[in-house]
Structure 1
Amino acid sequence: MDAVDRKILALLQQNADISISDLAEEIGLTATPCWRRMQRLQQAGLITRKVALLDAQKLGLSMTVFVQVKAAQHDGKWLDRFARHASSFDEVVEFYRMSGEYDYLLKVMVKDMQCFDHFYKRLVNGIDLNDVTSSFAMEQIKYSTAMPLQHL
């Protein structure tokens, strides 16, 4: 990976719809070598997919909730069941296994408290859990899908 590859990745993170010719011009290449580099980055798995980012507020998803879960059990069977259960909810937009006091962290996006309550009941009724706590985001200060590239 060289500086040109890093520039390609940085520009694509800002606008995945950029045309090959515009991307090539921005980084100082012609279209064909730029396209080849992009293909190589995709084949290497550095570019995993291209998506459209949607505006949560305009979609009516004004409530972001971070749900922390303590596992009821720590065997592989329960862990697999819980991962499938929690992943099945559209409201769960991010899901992590954590170190520390809580075993899992879910980022949940919903319209309002009533929708969250409905989600919560489905979550806890679907599987045995030890403890669940929720924190409601009051303000989003920073949001980015761009990966830092300066270490490359």
Structure 2
Amino acid sequence: MQDLDLIDRKIVAELMRDATLPIAQIAEKVGLSQTPCWKRIQKLEALGVLTGRVALADPAKLGFGILVFVEIEAPNHSLEWREEFTRAVAQLPEIMEVYRMAGRMDYMLRVAVPDMAAFDLFYKRLTDAVPIKNVTSHFSMERIHFSTAYPVDTRNR
């Protein structure tokens, strides 16, 4: 982690909880006045600690009733295949996240689709786009816990 002091960590924690908070409220919560708080937020953005501010949405209310974790086994580990795979997954909007993994699988994808028919179409587009040795899909039955906030230490050390 970058060398962030306690105030910076508190600011980051507050923004991860609710990025819509006015500067005045964030400043009050972290023990600063508004201007120094705003300058710290700008610094955290410039350093790349804060990379964006988004609204979180309920996938089911947007019609995305199925969440699938897709394991990909690559046919090889060449630069050419990795670049082709990267281009292919960037073209598939159903893919929410892509991770290159260590262990028995090479890549893990988090995919959101409305229904099984949509997943079948997605699967066909993915496997037509790039050669893949093996694809294994795991369908989520229930989201028990979800957070986008990292557990930043906001205690005084």
In the alignment, structure 1 residue 40 sits paired with structure 2 residue 43: yes
Q: Any gaps of 5 or more consecutive residues in structure 2?
A: none
- Residue 134 of structure 2 corresponds to 131
In the alignment, structure 1 residue 114 sits paired with structure 2 residue 117: yes
How far is 1:87 from its partner?
Answer: 2.2
- Residue 91 of structure 1 corresponds to 94
Backbone CA RMSD of aligned residues: 1.3
Of the candidates 101, 106, 109, which is equivalent to residue 103 of structure 1? 106
- Residue 10 of structure 1 corresponds to 13
Number of matched residues? 152
Q: Distance in 2 between matches of 1:74 and 1:30?
A: 52
User: TM-score, normalising length from structure 1?
Assistant: 0.95
Q: Structure 1: which amino acid aligns with 2:107?
A: Y
Secondary structure of the 1:74 match is: coil
User: TM-score, normalising length from structure 2?
Assistant: 0.92
How far is 1:21 from its partner?
Answer: 1.1
Give the share of equivalent positions with the same residue, in percent. Answer: 45
Q: Distance in 2 between matches of 1:43 and 1:127?
A: 36
- Residue 50 of structure 1 corresponds to 53
Could you report, residue by residue, the CA deviation over 1:65-91 in whole angstroms, capped at 9, with x for unpaired residues?
011111112110011101110221110
Q: Any gaps of 5 or more consecutive residues in structure 1?
A: none
Aligned 8 A contact 1:87 1:95 in 2:
no
